[in-house]
Amino acid sequence: MKYITTAEFQDVYEQARRARAAVRGFINYLKDYQVHRHPEPLNRKPAALQPCSVNPSR
């Protein structure tokens, strides 16, 4: 069995700490988005299109 050095452990531990903080921040962002989002999207229905007049003689 091979063990890692203290320096390698500290490096991996720091990476795990940053990953945990990033995941926690993303979860908080999603929770905040869920609370503040609009119940209905803006401009849900497109405006009615007006038919254009086409001159077939051209």
User: What does the pLDDT read at residue 20?
Assistant: 98
- Give burial (CB, 10 Å; 0-12/13-18/19+) of 21: exposed
pTM, two decimal places: 0.54
Extents of the domains making up the chain = 1-35
**Residue range 1-54, pLDDT digits in tens:** 899 999 999 999 999 999 999 999 999 999 888 777 755 556 666 666 667 776
DSSP string, 8-40: HHHHHHHHHHHHHHHHHHHHHHHHHHHHHS-SS
